[in-house]
Amino acid sequence: MSADQSTKTFVLKGVGVSPGIAIGRCYRFDPLGSQISFYKLKDESLVPKEVQRFRKALKESEEQLLDIQKNLRKAKITEPVYVIDVHILILKDKMFSNRTVKYIRDQGINAEWALRMTLDHYKQIFEGVQDDYISSRISDVQYVVQRILRNLTGEKHEIVWEVGNNGVIVVSHDISPADTAQMKLDKILGFATDSGGRTSHTAIVARSLELPAVVGLDDITHYVRTDDEVIVDGTAGMVVINPYPDMLKRYEEKKRHYDVANDEYLKFGKLPAVTLDNYEVQIGCNIEFIEEIPSAIAHGAESIGLYRTEFLYIYREDLPTEEDHFNNYRQVVTNPNLSSSTIRTFDLGGDKFANYQKQSKELNPQMGMRAIRFCLKEVEIFKTQLRAIWRVSALGKTKILFPMISSVEEIREAKKILEEARQELIEEGVNNIPEKIDIGIMMEVPSAVVIADKLAQEVDFFSIGTNDLIQYSLAIDRANERLTYMYEPLHPAVLRLIQNVVEAAHQAGIEVAMCGEMAGDPLCILILLGMKLDELSMNHLAIPRIKKIIRETTMEEAETVLNKALSFSTAPEVRSYVQDYMVNRFPEEFIAEED
């Protein structure tokens, strides 16, 4: 492509769902090619042949989907395979095919046109349905129509792997499991899509392959064509189309830094987090999807310190079954590279459950009927998850973590239900249910911190959730942008709360972990080390750097920094002291943030 005047640079902002920088040529993945022609058949004698052509495309589509389904099952991808079942049943739906055939016959039009009319017909019907879930199922019909059209036009397969030997950046409206099943994933450098969020299929695939991805770009497909130069910055959530030379150079430089830093740091990931004076901290990783486990381990996670289970409930219409839970958890706890896995019971409000939506409109959901409060009310939903956790605990070292505990009564009630779930399993004859499981609570509500000594008598470990603890204790709504300046992990009150939790835990002889963002913040690491937290659990990318700093310091130094930090009365004083200290002491670790 020549650098002509018409090549315009576009910068689009979306949601970065998988970090890193990818630079390459665009491959516009469009399941529905734009070269579809609609025409009237020349005369009636052509109708039977056209109907036959349509039926053949139906058959081919079905065979392809069956193939994909088989491969998905083999690959043990956790995406619901039933979606493809639904697509196959639509293909085989007589109402659907008869209508299309009728359009071909009655109007003497080609199959593409008739199919288009059938789609429009269903669009109208689905739009008329009150239920949002049902009306959005038109996307399934659309998907099927696209596949048939592709077969009609003779484009048998998507051709991602035939474009460019250096790999491509896949740009699409959205990407479904069936799409990725057909792509040569090793030829892909990154993803950019119009729709989607952190839990969309694109995001999950990108993270599991450690490829940069930005989703939710709204209309990138309108701006970019196959073979355009594209930069995907998954860390910043940005995509640049046709970058001008200087910009491209800057990004290439940035990418090189990123890659080198990554390789360099990965070495530290493999080493234990031991200080020079032999104090060891357990380093865990926070995950949301089982696909994240390989990168967690590659970056040096020794355990899963926080497995968030909310994903199992979101983006689906029905409740996850005990088997859904079990199948996911099993893949976490049986991983031989992890010393233990902490499963946190779901932290969701009623708004995520179809049956409760109406009654659960809350003014302040952050302080509403959610997490353990919701679970103690909806015991049956809660028990489904608890039963699965009991069952996997027989297969590998499992810990259970209850979120948002604010009183002793709540944890006692949760433990009672946990034991009931165990008894039920035993009564049903389920084998190998252990006697006991390590029980922990999230320390994220200030009242829990104040009575930490009492709570410590009830459980086996604490895990400090700094994100919520900071927002609740400083009384700031994290969603309120005007207050973000007040969100300060180094606020003297926050430091004292954390210290209080650690002391109460150790006095009672139980372990204490931290799984909030603060645990992976290199700026805070000496302070946390000085407090003697037993485990720090963080985003996988943070692990190598945290380990590196721990390995270059001593407990003595950490305690000195902690004591000095605790001596200040204001947050700005603490921050400026810690920042100066860390930048001077570990210049290499803090330079990168300057640019």
Pick one of 106, 131, 219, 280: the residue that binds other proteins (CB under 8 A): 131
Question: Interface with other proteins includes 584 (CB under 8 A)?
Answer: no
321 binds other proteins (CB under 8 A): yes
For other proteins, the closer CB: 7 or 355: 355
Q: Which is nearer to other proteins, 383 or 532 (CB)?
A: 383
Residues, the chain? 595
Q: Does 85 bind other proteins (CB under 8 A)?
A: yes
Q: Which stretch binds other proteins (CB under 8 A): 90-98, 160-168, 444-452, 535-543?
A: 90-98
**Where are the alpha helices (H) located in 153-200, listed in sequence order?**
177-182
Give the range of 5-13, 84-92, 170-178, 449-457 binding other proteins by CB under 8 A.
Answer: 84-92
Q: 3-state class of 439 per DSSP? A: strand
Q: Please give the helix or strand (H or E) that residue 412 lies within, else none.
A: helix 408-427
CA-based nearest residue to 62, from 88, 97, 100: 88
**What minimum distance in Å lies between the beta carbon of 316 and other proteins?**
9
Least Cβ distance, residue 183 to other proteins (angstroms): 24
Closest CA to 455 of 408, 423, 403: 408
Nearer to other proteins, 90 or 533 (CB): 90
Which tokens is 269 given? 């990931």
For the bound state, the minimum distance from the C-beta of residue 85 to other proteins, rounded and expressed in Å, comes to: 5
CA distance 384 to 328: 14
| Helix boundaries (H) for 459-507 | 466-473, 492-507
Question: Half-sphere exposure of 286 toward its Cβ, with a 13 Å CA cutoff?
Answer: 20
What are the start-end ranges of the H helices in 428-522?
A: 446-450, 452-456, 466-473, 492-507
CB of 101 to other proteins, least distance (A): 15
CB nearer to other proteins: give 142 or 500.
142
In the bound complex, what is the minimum distance in angstroms from residue 134's beta carbon to other proteins? Answer: 5
Cα dist from 448 to 208, 288, 411, 463, whole Å? 36, 25, 11, 12
- Span from 37-45, 53-61, 180-188, 321-329 in contact with other proteins (CB under 8 A): 321-329
Q: Does 352 bind other proteins (CB under 8 A)?
A: no
Closer CB to other proteins, 131 or 162, in the complex: 131
Shortest distance (Å) from residue 84 CB to other proteins: 10
Cβ distance to other proteins smaller for residue 125 or 493? 125
Q: Select 140 or 158, whichever has its Cβ closest to other proteins.
A: 140
Q: Is 219 in the site for other proteins (CB under 8 A)?
A: no
119's tokens: 């789609």
Q: Select from 27, 29, 54, 96 the one that contacts other proteins (CB under 8 A).
A: 96
Q: Tell me how far the alpha carbon of residue 524 is from its chain's centroid.
A: 25
3-state secondary structure of 440: strand
**In the range 54-83, which residues lie near other proteins by CB under 8 A?**
80, 82-83
Residues annotated as catalytic (active site), given as ranges: 201, 515
The only residue of 8, 74, 76, 94 in contact with other proteins, by rule CB under 8 A: 94
Cβ–Cβ under 8 Å, residues 543 and 283: yes
In degrees, to the nearest 5, what angle opens at C-alpha 365 toward C-alphas 364 and 367? 75
What is the pattern of x (binds other proteins, CB under 8 A) and - over residues 282-311?
A: ------------------------------
Does 508 contact other proteins by CB under 8 A?
A: no
> What letter does residue 512 receive in the DSSP assignment?
E
Task: For residue 488, give the DSSP letter.
Answer: -
Cβ at position 83, least distance to other proteins in Å: 7
Which of the ranges 89-97, 397-405, 431-439, 478-486 carries the binding residues for other proteins, by CB under 8 A?
89-97
- Least spacing, CB of residue 360 vs other proteins, in Å: 15
As a whole number of angstroms, the distance between CA 108 and CA 53 comes to: 14
Other Cβ atoms closer than 10 A to 269: 22
Give 93's contacts (C-beta < 8 A, 6+ positions apart).
none
How near is the Cβ of 513 to other proteins at its closest, in Å?
Answer: 34
Considering the rule CB under 8 A, would residue 137 count as an interface residue with other proteins?
yes
User: Which one among 1, 11, 66, 95 touches other proteins, defined by CB under 8 A?
Assistant: 95
If one asks whether residue 317 binds other proteins (CB under 8 A), the answer comes out as: yes
Interface with other proteins by CB under 8 A: which range of 109-117, 137-145, 162-170, 240-248?
137-145
Annotate 187-224 with three-state secondary structure.
HEEEEEECCCCCCCHHHHHHHHHCCCEEECCCCHHHHC
By C-beta, is 128 or 154 nearer to other proteins?
A: 128
Site for other proteins in 354-383 (CB under 8 A): 354-355
Which of 52, 124 has the CB closer to other proteins?
124
**Dist. CA 77–CA 95, nearest whole Å:** 32
Structure tokens at 555: 């407990």
Q: Nearest approach, Cβ of 95 to other proteins (angstroms)?
A: 4
134 binds other proteins (CB under 8 A): yes
Q: How far apart are CA 20 and CA 17, in angstroms?
A: 10
Q: Answer yes or no: are the C-beta atoms of 380 and 343 closer than 8 Å.
A: no
Q: Number of residues in contact with other proteins, rule: CB under 8 A?
A: 29
Does residue 253 bind other proteins (CB under 8 A)?
Answer: no
Which residue in the set 1, 11, 66, 129 belongs to the binding site for other proteins (CB under 8 A)? 129
Quickly count: other Cβ atoms within 10 Å of residue 484's Cβ: 12
**120 lies in the binding site for other proteins (CB under 8 A):** no
Determine if 139 is a binding residue for other proteins (CB under 8 A).
no
* Min CB(313)–other proteins separation in Å: 14
How many of the other CB atoms lie within 10 Å of CB of 405?
Answer: 26
Host H or E run for residue 280: strand 280-287
Stretch that binds other proteins, among 187-195, 202-210, 318-326, 574-582 (CB under 8 A): 318-326
The correct pick among 39, 133, 244, 315 for binding other proteins (CB under 8 A) is 133
Contact 391, 425 (CB under 8 A): yes
Q: Where does residue 428 rank: exposed (0-12), middle (13-18), buried (19+ CB within 10 A)? A: exposed
Chain positions contacting other proteins, by CB under 8 A: 80, 82-83, 85-86, 89-90, 93-96, 122, 125-126, 129-131, 133-134, 137, 140-141, 317-318, 321, 323-324, 354-355
